[in-house]
Structure 1
Amino acid sequence: MARVGDRPVTLTRKPEPPADSSDWVIWAAWADRVSFDEIRERTGLDEQAVIKIMRRELKPASFRRWRKRASGQVTKHRKRFMQLREMSR
């Protein structure tokens, strides 16, 4: 671990980009715990707009991998996540 002065520096593999960039949308779409609702709240983009951005910015194979991953994730949809959580109680 690297050190700066007396504190350790944590090196993250994929740090969060600035929220005002399109890179943030891509980062948030890949993140497991960031739902499409949260993306809409921060950027105003709905799920279909995020899909269009991902299709445009990613390579075809990466887009297919992301789409398969995102469509199977309950956490990407806040409503489905909350329903699942209630059922487990």
Structure 2
Amino acid sequence: MPGPELSEADISAIIEMALSDHVSFADINAQFGLSDSEVKTLMRSNLKPSSYRTWRKRVRTFGDRREHYK
């Protein structure tokens, strides 16, 4: 994965932030320097496929309902 080298603790923190409905991709980028596509790649490689699909569906659904979400 391109981007900064991440420790296991960083990866865990990013996953927790990405799973939260209250943290945007911009917040993750500011803290860890990852783009939204890099966060999605990280999530895909660290979550079970069904969990990843559920997360992406939730992000898309909320994004359609709110102007500023993820």
Q: TM-score range by the shorter chain?
A: 0.7 to 0.9
Following TM superposition, the consecutive aligned residue runs of length 4 or more in structure 1 with deviations greater than 6 angstroms are none
TM-score by length of 2: 0.76
1:81 counterpart residue number: 68
Distance in 2 separating the partners of 1:61 and 1:70: 14
Q: List alignment gaps of at least 5 residues for structure 1.
A: 1-19, 83-89
- Tell me, yes or no, if structure 1 residue 69 matches structure 2 residue 64: no
Q: Percent identical across equivalent pairs?
A: 36
Question: Larger RCO: Structure 1 or Structure 2 (Cα < 8 Å, ≥ 6 residues apart)?
Answer: 2
Aligned length: 59
Report which of the two has the higher share of strand.
1
Q: List alignment gaps of at least 5 residues for structure 2.
A: 1-8
TM-score by length of 1: 0.61
Structure of greater Rg: 1
Q: CA RMSD in A?
A: 1.9
